[in-house]
Chains A and B, each alone.
Chain A
Amino acid sequence: MSFTASIIGGSGYTGGELLRILLAHPHANIGQVTSRALKGQPVHRSHPNLRGHLVTEYSVPDEIEPCDVLFLCMPHGKAAGDIERWRSLAPLVIDLSADFRLRDPDDYATWYGDTHPNPEMLSQAVYGLPELSRDQLAGASLISGVGCNATAMNLALLPLARAGLIKRAIADIKVGSSEAGAQASAGSHHPVRARTARTYSPSGHRHLAEVFQALGDIDLDATITAIDMVRGVLCTAHIEPTEPLTKKDIWKLYREAYKDEPFVRIVADRSGPNRFPDPRILVGSNHADVGFAIDERSGRIIAISAIDNLVKGAAGSAIQSMNLALGLDETLGLTFPGLHPA
């Protein structure tokens, strides 16, 4: 089977990653890629790594034609207003913004500070993280993308949360500059961003909403710090468990939770320089590495996860979800193992 995929708003980083992954997908044909700002210009103008691999020019959204899969890569709040139109163009729409991540319109208003323009459609969207919603993704017609920080937290905490073992948790999250997207801002200006270790969200980051939706009403907060890295999320969660656990107990929980997951690896070695997850070796990869340790004095659990924010935290999970929705092997196009050294 082959299918045609088009992208609305394809000039940003997630659009570029979708294109890079789709080029390696054995069944995908790339249709139109839109950008109002870059209309008529070659796609490699904004994605120079694709020069020679993809010979196409940007069109504008008004020119978009029906296709099999339509990816929406617009800023938060833009996709939901026109969602009926996008869904009329393709039997499968995947929105990488936050517009359809939360099922409850009240949660959307709370965390995004605005009324959702299409609340009745929220319940139709499937959250696009296969580790959480694989069964619902089969045959889905509307899939939401995932928050990158939310993905790092969800995968670090999932085995403990499902077992009801989290009494309280704090996630310390370090992020790369590409999380902020391709548009420049005061925080992305080179003299500000380079060599930084700058906490910009000490508490209450909006991606927490996706974790509460996925893992239940756990006592969790997160602190987000920008560090000198382009791609990557490193989540270090400190967890007070509801009951004492041994390291073997934790191994059993994580092994059981992830034994059938093609992209989640447990990294909790006793020795060597890569004992625990490191986002640097995941650059370009759809893998999520998850590890853990235990503080024998206090019983505190330290759960660690690493992802590439643009791949497992965005485009990679979207393509993995697409594969599942289309009834394909979920790993198609996604087997790149990352780089070392990167």
Chain B
Amino acid sequence: MTQATMTAACPECDAPVELTRHPLNGQIANCTQCSAELEVTNTAPITFELAPEVEEDWGE
């Protein structure tokens, strides 16, 4: 039996992000196109938001 995949758009680059099982709120996924770290903020329909990032420099 094949497992159905679910997709939702990446909020950064609009590429479809696939999930192999139904996610939970707060779950983290990665976009394969832009490597953005995404947080599931809604499960029906599946919605992603960009996870917070750490800046490389602190403005020195």
> Chain A: residues with CB nearer than 8 A to chain B?
247-248, 251-252, 255, 266, 268-273
Write the chain A residue with the least CB distance to B35.
A269
Write the nearest CB–CB distance from A192 to chain B, whole angstroms.
Answer: 31
Q: Which 7 A-B pairs have the closest CB atoms?
A: A269-B35, A251-B13, A248-B14, A270-B36, A271-B53, A268-B34, A270-B53
The answer to whether the Cβ of B17 comes within 8 Å of any Cβ in the partner chain is: no
B31-58 contacts to A (CB < 8 Å): 33-37, 50, 53-54, 56
Partner of A270, one of B14, B15, B37: B37
The answer to whether the Cβ of B18 comes within 8 Å of any Cβ in the partner chain is: no
Q: Which of B35, B36, B53 lies at the interface centre, i.e. has the most chain A CB atoms within 10 A of its CB?
A: B35
Write the chain A residue with the least CB distance to B54.
A271
Decide: A251 near B56, CB < 8 A? Known: A270-B12, A270-B50.
no
Partner of B13, one of A248, A271, A272, A273: A248
Write the nearest CB–CB distance from B29 to chain A, whole angstroms.
Answer: 13
> Chain B: residues with CB nearer than 8 A to chain A?
12-15, 33-37, 50, 53-54, 56
Write the nearest CB–CB distance from B22 to chain A, whole angstroms.
Answer: 25
- In the complex, which residues of chain B have a beta carbon less than 8 angstroms from the beta carbon of A266? 33-34
Write the chain B residue with the least CB distance to A270.
B36
Decide: A269 near B36, CB < 8 A? Known: A248-B14, A252-B14.
yes
Partner of A251, one of B15, B35, B37, B50: B15
